[in-house]
Structure 1
């Protein structure tokens, strides 16, 4: 079906709703609407300043909490053990839930004690505050260290991934270690749909360019997507990307697009090739 699973029990709908940068009533409305339309995967983070708004939508919705996959994250300046624990407690309170389904370290820290942070992340899972744990924006070398040297029981990694940015080495490694990859900014903030190749493929199949870009990701083993969408029209069209059929010629043409166009690269980002 349209879900991804790991051996340790993570069950992740392939399409989720990204909520950044929505806040307040707009965010509550968009999340509530998405749940009504059939979304069961909601992505937020403490840094988005919208967990309270997401929590309100969860409370307002008739969809039972246990049917919704909920991801949140701790910011990179809150990675010492006490601050990390407090961040998750604050998130749980804001979201109105006793447990999140997936808890990520949002970005690698600066001058941090990686081992202690990972130890705390693992402990929060063992204590039941998070059903599963993961990391976001970790380059391959750091992911390898976390899994192989520190033995962290990661279920997922979240990174920028789209038709204009390749992540093959990271994806290959994730698959080897039963780690699911969630692609954020999967439409490259509109750039994907502006590519003539993507537009041509969309015209050929009678679908939207954004749906082609999403389906390219969804066709890959172990990959989920979390496009941000606030309007009913965009939320529905993103869900409908699951039904698009790309052929080998389409995939070959998409493979020929540049794969080095990173959209999200803040000054605190890691060295991506490390």
Structure 2
């Protein structure tokens, strides 16, 4: 599979995310994801399915060295007495000694970014995370994290899809050597139904969803795909056998819109750049 490199990390360009999936769904679909070729799995403490992912990977006999595991620390654990303990719990549930990538899930507001980064660095230095990164940070917060962090910030995981291409943040990340990880790539179901993406896909024998994922990885982003249906997994990963041309990319670029953002929870979200 294609990979993205950032500050020494080599990350599979297509990951399998388990946001809003029950334990039963995770344990049913992960074996199919492994069989299809997925090795990058993305979860979070707040998803409450780290243990299910750990069980599924263990039961399937996945080799730890073959996997790239990402999890995220929830804002309720942004305190010195809770941060490291919460990571220990995540490791126990995932049945590993170390995650490949540990992220700060949201910037929040009560704990300064500098303090969040210090706690993140401490658990990385303790060997609990190979690499560290951030999620849902705006440009200023990302730059502060980069400046404050002793370990390189390898990614900023943000909402990114054809209706919200995040050009300013992407440019700032690239200037700093930070990879962008795109979540909500299907825009909550809008991408698979988009007539422009459907027309493009028809020319390649691909679905609109595959076009959306291909658009992400073709720009050099890491894309998180998701399905709870084992029969759909193979479709999600079958995006590396075609290339969108310049006209396709231009047509998709025109889908961007000012109200494209879908995820902005009060109390968690920062002041966005756009």
| Deviation (angstroms), 1:21 | 0.8
Name the counterpart of 1:59: 58
Corresponding position: 1:233 with 2:231:
yes
Contact 2:15 2:222 in 1 (8 A): yes
Contact 1:166 1:259 in 2 (8 A): no
Structure 1 counterpart SS, 2:4: strand
What is the rounded CA distance, in whole Å, between the counterparts of 1:240 and 1:37 in structure 2?
Answer: 9
What is the rounded CA distance, in whole Å, between the counterparts of 2:20 and 2:35 in structure 1?
Answer: 21
Contact 2:113 2:144 in 1 (8 A): no
Describe how 1:70-219 pairs up with structure 2 within 5 A. 70-149=69-148, 153-219=152-218
RMSD of aligned residue pairs (Cα, Å):
1.5
Contact 1:79 1:109 in 2 (8 A): no
Between 192-201 and 247-256, report the one with greater CA deviation: 192-201
Structure 2 counterpart SS, 1:267: coil
Aligned residues between the structures: 272
Structure 2 counterpart SS, 1:104: strand
Structure 2 counterpart SS, 1:181: strand
Contact 1:212 1:244 in 2 (8 A): no
Name the counterpart of 1:255: 253
Contact 1:140 1:273 in 2 (8 A): yes
Gaps of 5+ in 1: none
What is the rounded CA distance, in whole Å, between the counterparts of 1:219 and 1:197 in structure 2?
Answer: 18
Scaled by the length of structure 2, the TM-score of the pair is 0.94
Contact 1:136 1:157 in 2 (8 A): yes
Name the counterpart of 2:7: 7
Name the counterpart of 1:245: 243
What is the rounded CA distance, in whole Å, between the counterparts of 1:248 and 1:4 in structure 2?
Answer: 21
Structure 2 counterpart SS, 1:191: helix
Which runs of structure 1 show a deviation greater than 4 angstroms over 4 or more consecutive aligned residues?
149-152
Scaled by the length of structure 1, the TM-score of the pair is 0.94
| Deviation (angstroms), 1:7 | 3.4
What is the rounded CA distance, in whole Å, between the counterparts of 2:100 and 2:23 in structure 1?
Answer: 22
Contact 2:114 2:148 in 1 (8 A): no
| Deviation (angstroms), 1:96 | 0.9
Structure 1 counterpart SS, 2:102: strand
What is the rounded CA distance, in whole Å, between the counterparts of 2:148 and 2:56 in structure 1?
Answer: 40
| Deviation (angstroms), 1:152 | 5.1
